[in-house]
Amino acid sequence: MSLGMLALIGFLFGVGFGYFVQRAGLCFAHGLGEVFIGKGKRIVSLFLVIFVVTSLGFLLSELLSPSLGLKPVGQVRGHGFYNLLAGVFFGAGIFLNGGCVLGTLRQIGEGNMLFLVVLLSLIPGMALVVYGLDPLLERAYDVQQILVPELLGVPAPYVTVALVAGAIAWFVPLRRRK
Amino acid sequence: MKSKKLSENALFLVACFAVLNVTMYLTIHKFWIGGSSFLPMVGQFGDGNTFLFAFVVNLGVIAGAFLGASTSGEFRLRMPRKENLARAVVGGTLIGIGVTLAPGTCTTAFVTGMPMLSVSSFLSAAGIFIGAYVVYKITWRW
């Protein structure tokens, strides 16, 4: 498939993602805020639904094609130190401006141009790392691409099923509680 | 209890989002990526144009959000206020650092990486909680 065709299909999937995210009002930055003030029931429920559906879908995808199945997303860098650090910067950033990546894209689509400023402000941060820190840190990165089942030495279906069961056990009482 | 229409039920809508994410993986072997998708803005396109593809997907997300907001009467053009600009720029820059320091593992962690059982995503999610909590503790008195 040509890159152009792939991009067109990807764009159409993106329209679907954006539509559902906008209608659901999904934003992890707002969600974290709700969790911190003790009102996280809504965002936790939304996350658990995404987790259960996507986990099972990704796991079962291997049945359709052996080239699918579970794959590492991103990299473990510096034995995880840079992932934690990246998360801290990211978490601070999204909480400061009130929008995660999905939330930022959603807000732009809803007409809030402040989030266009947020989006453009990613550029200096990304450039700082790509052209400033990356060349310095490359040796320390010790890049790994690893899945939890490999780390634990347990077959992937067991891990997914256990986590999905845990998510459902968490979700059910959340929905019952008033 | 007041029953909601399915099209207004957030749980149903995020389930649709998740099904779409899986469907994209099944059909074109790609999944949704968040912050790293913006790396083409600094000249990084990723192996096999991964980030460029994700960038286009996220342009679609903006279009989809516009569609959703327009059809529901929630679209409202709002220009940024001066007093919010500094916060947005600092926040955006921190996000930019975060998404580049360990690409593909931030918002992506919650919707793609953790379901993929990717170790990097669990680590990033832990970092996101820490970072957001620190800012929450610093700013909540303001």
- A117 is a domain residue: no
Instruction: Please give the structure tokens belonging to residue B129.
Output: 């909680």
- A167 is a domain residue: yes
Q: What is the pLDDT along chain B (142 residues), one digit of tens a residue?
A: 455 677 679 999 999 999 999 999 999 999 898 888 999 999 988 888 888 999 999 999 999 999 999 999 999 999 999 999 999 999 999 999 999 988 766 788 899 999 999 999 999 999 999 999 998 888 865 5
Which pTM does this prediction carry? 0.92
- A170 is a domain residue: yes
- Answer whether B132's CB lies under 8 Å from A32's CB: yes
Q: How wide is the angle at C-alpha A20 spanned by C-alphas A16 and A25, nearest 5°?
A: 145
ipTM summary value: 0.92
Q: Give pLDDT tens digits for A21-66.
A: 999 999 888 888 899 988 899 999 999 999 999 999 999 999 988 8
Q: How wide is the angle at C-alpha A74 spanned by C-alphas B136 and A99, nearest 5°?
A: 30
User: Any chain A CB within 8 A of the CB of B8?
Assistant: yes
- A59 is a domain residue: yes
Which chain A residues are Cβ-neighbours of B124 within 8 angstroms? 74, 83-84, 86-87, 90
- A162 is a domain residue: yes
- A118 is a domain residue: no
Interface of B with A in 30-59 (CB under 8 A): 30-39, 41-44, 49, 52-54, 56-59
- A158 is a domain residue: yes
Range of the domain at A164: 40-72+153-178
Interface of B with A in 87-106 (CB under 8 A): 87-106
Which chain B residues are Cβ-neighbours of A75 within 8 angstroms? 102-105, 120
**In angstroms, rounded to a whole number, what is the distance separating the alpha carbons of residues B101 and B104?**
10
Instruction: Please give the structure tokens belonging to residue B52.
Output: 């460029």
B120 with A73: Cβ contact below 8 A: yes
The count of domains in chain A is: 1
For residue B42, the number of C-alpha atoms closer than 13 Å in the C-beta half-sphere is: 24
- A107 is a domain residue: no
